[in-house]
Amino acid sequence: MKTRRIVAIAVIVVLVGAVGTVLVRKQVTSSAGGLQVVAAENFWGNIAAQLGGSHAHVTSIITDPSADPHLYESNAQNAAAVSRAEVVIVNGLGYDDFMSKLLAGSKNSNRQVITAQTVYGAADGANQHLWYDIPRVETMASKITASYIASDPAHKNDYQHKLAAFDQSLQPLLQTISRLKQRYGGMPVAYTEPVPGYLLNDAGLSVQTPEGFAKSVEDGDDPSPADTAAMDTLMTNKSVKVLLYNAQATSPVTEHVKDLAKQAGIPVIGVTETLPPNQKTYQSWQASQMRQLEAALAQAQ
């Protein structure tokens, strides 16, 4: 039975409490001229805009924190943007299948399509939330920059400088991940669905969530009784130090787990799938969530 409920209200993040405002579904763009770039989601679009600067006009299709990319239905405006784009950025792994239809419906044979799944070398069925694997975001940024240079070689030096600055801006995030691994590596944690899975793995944390439970929640289904019981036990027995949940998509199932965690005194952290409206950059968004995770782990140690 489908129970998932998409939350279109301000996202309240426990501990630090980063609060976002409501967004209506719309397209956001960077500067008005230059290369025409379309990103399926706003986190890739934000990175693309940083790398392109004034030379790129970036359109992000999924910007609404209440919009589930799995359920998103494209429109004529999206199709027009893709048809004139010189660079298109897609996540892959089934996360944004609507883009396949838009690309197939466009006759633009000169554009370059960059798919994160391909860049990362992720096999079908892997965790879809590739943008949480921060050590490999540098590779994605490099591919985007290469596409810009191929389409607009006159501004090659500018693009290379933007890439170098972007890579440097990731260093504090990578240092935090290294510190988390050094201090808290092996510590047991749980999530309601695998949105932050790559981050937790990179930080050396031990995810205890039953795989079937996380998969069911991600698919919008009710977990099996056995998986539900196992997840409940993790909370009531205080077998994990932190619980992370998708703050954009909740259900009675995830609310129940959160309640159990709070009753047991386990820190609860909300994470989001899309770049929240109160965060200007991909880097600030990830840094904010990492600070919350680090504070929670320190509290639970």
Which among 12, 34, 41, 19 has a CA at the least distance from the CA of 274?
41
Token digits for 28? 């956001």
| Residues 6 or more apart in contact with residue 55 via CB below 8 angstroms | 34, 35, 148, 152, 155, 158, 159
Residue range 148-177, pLDDT digits in tens: 999 999 999 999 999 999 999 999 999 999
Contact by Cβ (8 Å): 259, 233: no
Rounded to two decimals, the pTM is 0.89
Tens-digit pLDDT profile for the chain (301 aa)? Answer: 444 544 543 333 333 333 332 232 334 444 456 899 999 999 999 999 999 999 999 999 998 876 666 778 888 999 999 999 999 999 999 999 999 999 998 888 789 999 999 999 999 999 999 999 999 999 999 999 999 999 999 999 999 999 999 999 999 999 999 999 999 999 999 999 999 999 999 999 999 999 999 999 999 999 999 999 999 999 999 999 999 999 988 899 999 999 999 999 999 999 999 999 999 999 999 999 999 999 999 998 7
How open is the CA angle 73-26-92, to the nearest 5 degrees?
50
Q: Which CATH superfamily includes the segment(s) 31-169? A: Nitrogenase molybdenum iron protein domain (3.40.50.1980)
Q: Is 148:56 a contact under the CB 8 Å cutoff?
A: yes
Residue appearing with tokens 């239809």: 101
Q: Where in the chain is the domain with CATH 3.40.50.1980?
A: 5-20+172-300, 31-169
170 by Cβ neighbours in 10 Å (0-12 / 13-18 / 19+) ranks as middle
- Tens digits of residue pLDDT in 60-94: 999 887 666 677 888 899 999 999 999 999 999 99
Class of the CATH-defined domain 5-20+172-300: alpha beta
90 and 116 in contact (C-beta within 8 Å)? yes
Angstrom distances, CA of residue 157 to CA of 48, 58, 93, 160, 171: 16, 20, 33, 5, 22
